[in-house]
Structure 1
Amino acid sequence: MMSPTVPTMTNCADLRSSRRALRAEQATVQWWRRLVQARLDLAVAAAAMPASLGEELAVLPMPAGWVEPPSHVELRRATRGGLPLAEASRLPVLRHLDERLADYERCVGAALAEVTEELIEALAVDPARLLAGPEAPRPI
């Protein structure tokens, strides 16, 4: 895994620019992870269906107002469509992708934390000069 090297910057505008870029990258990698994790969920769902609802509770007395769950047949019909069993063969690839994305997300998070720390340190050294100049802060 390659770690991004965050250059040491003293220019507040450069730090803010780097921080914006890292935050955008972080949002993008999080979106990709959600997509990969959703595909993982679909692949698992194609290979295995959950147990029927209510079977274990059939012998227990139910309180007034108890609502019967949908039947297993209804649930299977509604959720099975479009889930070919071939999806299960994608599980190793999807898991590997998710691991790589998680590693990359950690690197981006570390770089963002480092740039944020540099920005805070730069502002702490001489806030008046940094905040009053042409590089007055914009939202970060």
Structure 2
Amino acid sequence: MTSRVEHPLHDLRLERRALRAERARVGWWRRVVRARMDLTVATAARPADLGADVVFSLPLDVGLEVPRPGELQTALEGTDAGRDVGALPALRDLDARLARYEEGVEQALRRVTDRLVERLACDPAAVADLVPRVSGHG
């Protein structure tokens, strides 16, 4: 059995790179699922209009930039609130499962990073193997 210190540095770096890529993918999916939930809720129970309560507290140039309710409504067009509201429990469940998976990926990434650091601490010369060789022609 290979000890942690003997684990090839190159393999640790590849494993870490794969875990970082997986973390990015799961993060993207979580953002998609949460955005879908936000759109579903916004379509079913439209939020209050922007600026209605604070328009007189804002500078005029800022107040003039507030989008009108109709402009905001176009962002919600194309969604079927009745169908989408029924999907909220499944979307919440999917987000919870993605969160648990994301935490598992984070823990694995921390473990492999710790092993990489441990390996480099025990054998600092191993870093030389990572640096591309430069030709003496120059």
Do the structures match in fold with TM over 0.5? yes
> RMSD in angstroms over aligned alpha carbons?
2.7
1:114 maps to 111
Q: Cα distance 1:115–1:80, how it changes in 2: closer, same or farther (>3 A)?
A: closer
Point out where structure 2 has 5 or more consecutive residues left out of the alignment. 132-138
What is the distance in 2 between the residues matched to 1:82 and 1:99?
26
Measure, in 2, the Cα distance between the counterparts of 1:24 and 1:68: 39
Identity of paired residues, percent? 47
Match of 1:32 in 2: 29
User: Is the contact between residue 45 and residue 83 of structure 1 (CA under 8 Å) also seen in structure 2?
Assistant: no
Q: Residue in 1 aligned with 2:75? A: 79
User: Could you say what secondary structure the match of 2:75 adopts?
Assistant: helix
Structure 1 114/51 Cα, relative in aligned 2: closer, same or farther at 3 Å?
same
Q: Which runs of 4+ in 1 moved over 2 A?
A: 52-58, 60-76
Alignment partner for residue 137 of structure 1, among 121, 130, 133?
Answer: 130
Instruction: Tell me the matched-pair count.
Output: 127
Structure 1 unaligned residues grouped into runs of 5+? 1-6
Question: Structure 1 residues 39 and 127 mapped into 2: Cα distance closer, same or farther (>3 Å)?
Answer: same
CA–CA separation in structure 1 for the residues paired with 2:102 and 2:57: 49
Residue pair 2:39, 2:76 contacting (<8 A) in 1 also: no
